[in-house]
Amino acid sequence: MNDHFADIFTETACPSQDQLLAYVEGKLSPAERHNVELHLQDCDLCSEAVEGLSAIQEKDKIPGWLREAKWNVLKKLRRKNHKRRKQDFYLFIGIVALVIILLAIGLYWAYHFSR
């Protein structure tokens, strides 16, 4: 585990997702391909990613899936934020209502005792 983290921060940095995809699709130049292959020997993370990508038959659809996955994560995050904002809004309304009630009671008592 520690060795792996050390690998990440040395010159053998992991290729990007796009590069791995291009590797699986055979779109890399021979030099780039060689670099990726060298990296795969040392990196379990990337070999597993390449294995997973290789297992997919319709590679044309992979970029779409990735985009969709990102989009779904974004949507989920946005929905969460929205929910939180709604809760804050109700809290705010509650506090405002409480302040108005206290003011009304205060004014009532002030008025009541001033007579």
**Contact set with Zn ion (CB under 5 A):** 14, 43, 45-46
Closest approach, Cβ 2 to Zn ion, in A, equals: 15
Q: 1 or 110: whose CB is closer to Zn ion? A: 1
Closest approach, Cβ 91 to Zn ion, in A, equals: 45
Closest approach, Cβ 19 to Zn ion, in A, equals: 10
Q: 21 or 46: whose CB is closer to Zn ion? A: 46
Q: 28 or 46: whose CB is closer to Zn ion? A: 46
Distance CA 95, CA 92 (A): 5
Closest approach, Cβ 5 to Zn ion, in A, equals: 11
Q: 44 or 68: whose CB is closer to Zn ion? A: 44
Q: What is the DSSP string of the chain?
A: -HHHHHHHTSSSPPPPHHHHHHHHTT-S-HHHHHHHHHHHHH-HHHHHHHHHHHH-S-GGGHHHHHHHHHHHHHHHHHHHHHHHHHHHHHHHHHHHHHHHHHHHHHHHHHHHHH-
